[in-house]
Chain A
């Protein structure tokens, strides 16, 4: 018991370092939404500076520590100035902090003395407390940490700057409105984080008495875990989280100390449990908005989805020939280089493949893995165990690597259904740490630290034991993977994944379910990382645990971001280039590595889409300079063959004709869509109060009401995005209240959005292809990857349908441009096109004309009429443009304060005094003055 108490005390001392780092992480994340990997580096640099000052110049320790804190704060501020405020979202600054971490570590190793002593300033016998001796150093550590925490708390609670920081973290837009400058707030938060890191560095140095370059990097996962326990927003939560992690680690050492990596495992398990069960953290209440921020896609990408039809004649010839030429080239190079160089160069395809696996994950799922070195290691160990321990034939052994890594990645994919964004990134980071610290050192994998050896086999006439032959084999593997990835861009499966990555709401509204696709995306990436691992194992001939460190995972992220997310060529080239530098230029002289790290810091975010993006921009410019990319005859080639299966859109292509209103008796028909007694409460507010409405087949129904009347909420209930507090929804005679939005869309209940129903980084044509995914591809795996000729044909028909819809919508010229770059009016029109492409029986249109004027707005009313006339679609439309609703609707419902105000034929309803009052407020004079 006493022993346990001792370990608790030790844990608290260690945990206070984690707590300080976690406080810095939380501050930075709250204000900048960035995971700061340099948090520990601020501290190590400060500690090295303190040691240099105190020991070199005989300056008293307190002064040296004060100087160190100042250095930490300055470096934090400088980091914010250099990294923030650039284009490209939150990933470039994250990668930039990794670059700063590498640079600082190198500086410490080369110019600040490497490993050096860090004596504690206090000495003595210590104090005995309840039978446990607490050393003076531990007391000092806890006291200083508590003092720093208290100072931070006072600063935030009692000062003007503190109030500004809390306001900025709470609501960025609100902070701008009261006149706060977001950039200055960020610099302030990073400065404080730098100071906190410095204190953590000094305390950690006192505890261990020596400091080594980058000594806090290893505890970053623990610090992230501590911050996550506080939900990444709560400062007291971060402190408690740090102490919990510290004590848990310490107690694990006591009770399970014999197993290496067991503390890391316990931290990972705690973190995983918290993230999966309570993503908002242990110590915070759920906050609206936070989960969403954590869920967003971390990446911004170039268009990925390609037309399934073969392109120009040139590309039809070059397409298949490309890989053949590449293989010939690889074989020629392999034949030309001699032994040692061939061995060195064989690392290039291996690391390029590994980078491509992470690139695929980011591009397909929008998620970031910081544990890819772990998957790489699983691949290597999988191959080694299968070949050496189980003595499987080499080919099977080789495939065991990707199989093992694929399964592990699929498990991460399953977790991604609950945790996304930065939270998932931290989970994968911890996953990598556990693999490296706990799993790989086990007896199965490490054989008592000796590692597993394996020999390259002979395959038929080819002896892979020869380095030249092996180089050729690795090159061919890379080319094969490249070809598969290229093919993937043209099949429905990737479209579904991209749809989810880019806009999950839009994806479910178009009938695409996230569940399976997310897991598949991770699994594919895992298989690729495993392939790289297998190849690596056979290249090395021996696999040991130490070669898959977390640092490799971070390096991979750098390569992928520098190369340009989503750009295979850019990523592979950057990976190969860095590997080359590593093979030939580093070693004794680390200046080159330092320059590379600094280049990362300075370049990141300058060109948000990386090297690949820059290249692509050049090509795009050249292509746009040419008059037309495809002859019209070719675009028409597959012909208008599939009118029934497809979705020719609405619009001016059909001659405008009078809107035909249904006669009264026709309206008395079966109900195709109905809401019964629906009530929706948000907290204490009632958004909808016992609302019932009916829609009959073939009708056009308008829903009117002032702002905040509950119109969009009604649509969200009908389409399944909000579960009503009470009441139900019926569609075609079935209760659909329990169905997901995607299921409702697949049954024929489509919807459009005011805005945001599109996938902005993809082209207009790709948007229409993706919109057809849910209803047409459904659950057939064969169709999803378009393996069989008939699948390929039907997929090409979809592309033709998309062309036709674009033509009808008048968007033919915009077909190949990313939707995000289209004018607002075009996006509104395309939004309707995408909703129609799901082939709905009933279509809910949410403010289709909002923000449109004149001709565009008239076009929308024509289009709504044409939807019914030409396609037999029943339409329910929300619109603020009362004249538009009046002109197209058979019936109108008017909502006010969440309940039904009145309903009926348009002219009757709009003449009613209560409707006018709902819109304009109560009449100014006596009610008699309101003209009727």
Chain B
């Protein structure tokens, strides 16, 4: 089985300063990888490096059998990556439907945009109700759904999700995680960066990121065991209790 996305020895950061070091990730076509860790551990930087949105100092990024480490962001989208960014980054004055369409704006996806819209509306019916509303006037949870929906419009092979739970009430968090689970079930590989370790209820694999490097890998069969302890040590400082 070839990996859908494979990252080797990634060193990346901003303004010449590395934030993450020696990151290795293997995402199979049916992987749901959760990357957990405290604030500042380098989770967002890892995703941005994969998308080509920050400085990469070393390492390779391969999508299928194609190396995308030097490609522009637009080329990576064409190759099958999509990012649902931290802070949603929706287009506030565009309507919900227009926001979704921007997700299909690169490459061939444009031709299949009406099918993609139908697919997204099926997964996220709330967006269908709001299709004519300006995105900036929606609540945080709805904007999060919109950001997820937009990233699905290009029908990505690998979906990168950055802190989808951020700022959402607990009941909304579960709802967003369930949506991710259903996207995964329909055949899209997912890499979800999270501070909220409830993500492990839906993930198939987990890595813990600490101070810019991977400190622990928990394979699919062990998810649910010992995770809370590991994460707790990472967040509250080792040696606590």
User: Hey, which bits of chain A sit against chain B, CB under 8 A?
Assistant: 160, 163-164, 166-167, 170-171, 173-181, 287, 684-685, 706-708, 823-824, 850-851, 853-854, 880-884, 886, 897, 910-911, 916, 919-925, 929-931
Contact = CB atoms under 8 A, between A and B. Distances in A.
Nearest to B170: A922
Contact of A707 (B163, B197, B198): B163
A925 B51 CA distance: 35
B182 interface: no
Interface string B165-178: 11101100100000
A853 B41 CA distance: 10
B125 to A, nearest CB: 22
B209 to A, nearest CB: 13
Contact of A921 (B90, B163, B197): B197
B73 A171 contact: no
A378 B139 CA distance: 54
B85 A174 contact: yes
A823 B16 CA distance: 9
Interface stretch (B1-9, B23-31, B102-110): B102-110
Given A160-B110, A174-B90, A924 B105 contact: no
A882 B77 CA distance: 37
A922 to B, nearest CB: 6
Contacts of A684: 139
B231 A920 contact: yes
Contacts of B173: 921
Contacts of B51: 177
B105 A160 contact: yes
Nearest to B235: A919
Interface string B189-219: 0000001111111000000000110000000
A92 to B, nearest CB: 21
B229 interface: yes
Interface stretch (B57-65, B93-101, B114-122): B93-101
A910 B232 CA distance: 11
A174 B91 CA distance: 7
B93 A176 contact: no
B89 A179 contact: no
**Which range holds the interface residue count of chain B?**
35 or more
A215 to B, nearest CB: 35
A796 to B, nearest CB: 34
Contact of A170 (B94, B196, B198, B231): B94
A922 B240 CA distance: 19
A619 B109 CA distance: 54
B73 A176 contact: yes
A180 B224 contact: no
Contacts of A925: 224
A931 B235 contact: no
Contact of B53 (A164, A177, A881, A919): A177
Given A881-B237, A910-B240, 7 more contacts: A163-B105, A167-B98, A167-B105, A177-B73, A179-B73, A179-B77, A882-B237
B227 interface: yes
A736 to B, nearest CB: 29
B72 interface: yes
Given A850-B40, A910-B236, A921-B197, A171 B90 contact: yes
Nearest to B84: A177
B154 interface: yes
A164 B102 contact: yes
Nearest to A685: B140
A924 B167 contact: no
Interface in B30-59: 38-40, 51, 53
A167 B38 contact: no
Contact of B240 (A883, A920, A930): A883
B92 A882 contact: no
A855 to B, nearest CB: 12
Nearest to B104: A178
Nearest to B113: A160
Interface of B: 17, 19, 38-40, 51, 53, 72-74, 76-78, 83, 85, 89-94, 98, 101-103, 105-107, 110, 136, 139-140, 150, 154, 163, 165-167, 169-170, 173, 195-201, 211-212, 224, 227-229, 231-232, 235-238, 240-241
A708 B163 CA distance: 12
Most buried by A among B73, B77, B101: B73
B224 A178 contact: no
Contact of B228 (A167, A707, A920): A920
Contact of B232 (A173, A916, A922): A916
30 contacts: A160-B110, A171-B90, A171-B92, A174-B89, A177-B53, A177-B73, A181-B72, A181-B74, A287-B92, A287-B136, A684-B139, A707-B163, A851-B19, A881-B237, A882-B236, A883-B237, A886-B237, A910-B236, A911-B241, A919-B235, A920-B228, A921-B173, A921-B196, A921-B197, A921-B199, A924-B197, A924-B227, A924-B228, A929-B228, A930-B228
A163 B73 contact: no
Contacts of A823: 17
B17 A176 contact: no
B50 to A, nearest CB: 12
A716 to B, nearest CB: 17
B76 A708 contact: no
B105 A923 contact: no
B90 A178 contact: no
A176 B72 CA distance: 10
A170 B105 contact: no
A919 B228 CA distance: 11
Nearest to A176: B73
B106 A179 contact: yes
B23 to A, nearest CB: 16
A931 B227 CA distance: 12
Nearest to B210: A853
A166 B92 contact: no
A450 B139 CA distance: 66
A222 B198 CA distance: 58
- In the A-B complex, the 6 residue pairs with the smallest Cβ-Cβ separation, listed nearest first, are A883-B237, A179-B77, A179-B106, A921-B198, A708-B167, A174-B89
A702 to B, nearest CB: 13
B236 A177 contact: no
A51 to B, nearest CB: 40
Contact of A179 (B92, B154, B166, B201): B154
Contacts of B238: 883
A924 B224 contact: yes
Contacts of A707: 39, 163, 166-167, 195
